[in-house]
Amino acid sequence: MSFQAYLANIEAKTGKSTADFRALAEQKGFTDGGKLAAGVEAGAIVKWLNEEFQLGHGHAMAVVALLKGSKCEDST
């Protein structure tokens, strides 16, 4: 499954866009200025996404990659 497919599935399941997840992560203190905040580990983000949005590990890690900036979503 491509990264874009993961993001599309996440949005279909949660109703939240990548921009929504970026904003929510910022509000939760996981990111600062659009980058992962110092000391934040992927496990904490995965736990949050699982508890709040029932995302599985793979989908949650796609959001982590997005927040880290290691993957970019298409601007379609």
User: Which residue ranges make up each domain of the chain?
Assistant: 3-68
Which residues have C-beta within 8 Å of that of residue 35, sequence separation ≥ 6?
68, 69
55 has a pLDDT exceeding 60 = yes
Count CA within 13 A, CB hemisphere, residue 41. 3
* Strands 35-36 and 31-32, bridge-based pairing: antiparallel
pLDDT of residue 69: 85
53 has a pLDDT exceeding 80 = yes
3-52: per-residue pLDDT in tens?
Answer: 999 999 999 999 999 999 999 999 999 999 989 999 999 999 999 999 99
